[in-house]
Amino acid sequence: MPTGTADVLLRTEGRAGFLTLNRPRAINALTHPMVLALDAALTAWEHDPAVTTVVIEGAGERGLCAGGDIRAIHDDARAGGSASAAFWRDEYRLNARIARYPKPYVALMDGIVMGGGVGVSAHGSVRVVTERSRVAMPETGIGFVPDVGGTYLLGRAPGELGTHLALTGGHVGAADAILTGLADHFVPSAELPGLVRDLTRLPAEEAVARHTATAPPGVLAEQREWIDACYPAETVETVVERLFDAGVPAAKEAATTLLAKSPTALKATLATLRRSRALATLEEVLDLEFRVSCAALTTPDLVEGIRAQVVDKDRNPRWTPATLPEVTDESVARSFAVPADGDLGLAAARRDGANRRAAGQGIGQAAHDGPGPRPTAGDREPRDRA
């Protein structure tokens, strides 16, 4: 039985293993030790026949997880350290592992689910939202780019909805999370205790089916027309121009929102989304995102964005450069350079593992270093949510 930590509580009950993120004062923001604890639990339960379902939930009333510990990233980036890159290496491996976990992985996405919280939930096989859910990838507001496989998920949302959410950083409720492929089922929050009880004794899909309902209406379906018309543009500048010219108040609001975000992060985000759509697997996208994340550590906007939003909380970031036209194609291209300490290598490891299995080697002979997807007989493919 894995032991967990003070910040990741573990328990087994009936047929289910429960992962409880336990930093409620920080809305369960992820730290590196938490990522390692989650991976260790998944390792133990993957090979435990008594555990047939894994459930992840958040302690407290505010949400599952507000993301990574961005204050720690701020301090590391200011110091020119390597801790953030090391954290992302293990976090992204965990995201890929969750996507291919061979047992049902049920994410209770109640309340706030942002950034890294999306990474430990939206790649799961059974994703539950409630009327309290607020799901977002808000990275452009802190000078960063959607990561943890966020560009994989948003790049496969219907039409240009994912581009809209990635650039604006806007949050969505239950219906729109389901529409965009970030969630599967709506369960009223009052039903969650009953759902948890049923998960301990029933197959996951059967347990969830007993409690699902129709989600309250969202907003994105009605906004598809102007979103799909404005966001296919080649540049962020053209997107903003189209939004202002659309003649729709919500589109104008989106344009104003974009102009408040980091210009560098906006251009890097659009380029990453476009590239991720052309990649076949989550592992390839996570490899790409790792390059972009590491590059962001070297830009002034990440430190400045976190300072303005989290450290000083003046909500007045001073971006460098300050406007979209000042962000050159060359600076965007640098986002995709190989990091100084090398690539993440998830896609290559995946191919190597498949080749070894095809050559007749045993599952246990496949090399594995740190968190991430391990070859298993029941390895499942991430669902195509295009």
Catalytic residues: 68, 116, 139, 147
Angle at which helix 249-259 crosses helix 161-168, to 10 degrees, equals 40
Identity of the residue numbered 21:
L
Q: Which amino acid is at 282?
A: L
Angle at 161 between CA 155 and CA 166, to 5 degrees: 65
Structure tokens belonging to residue 176: 């729109």
- Tokens, residue 49: 């026949």
352: which 2 tokens? 């190597």
* Among the listed residues 70, 50, 69, 58, the one whose alpha carbon sits nearest the alpha carbon of residue 20: 58
Q: Kindly state the tokens that stand for 38.
A: 């989650």
C-alpha 210/C-alpha 1 separation (Å) is 30
| Alpha carbons 349 and 24: distance in angstroms, whole number | 35
The total of other beta-carbon atoms located within 10 Å of residue 11's CB is 12
Strand order in the sheet with 53-58: 8-13, 16-21, 53-58, 105-109, 126-129, 185-186
Amino acid at 344: L
Closest CA to 255 of 164, 177, 160, 143: 164
In the chain, helix, strand, coil percent, each to 5? 50, 10, 40
User: How does strand 63-65 pair with strand 112-114?
Assistant: parallel
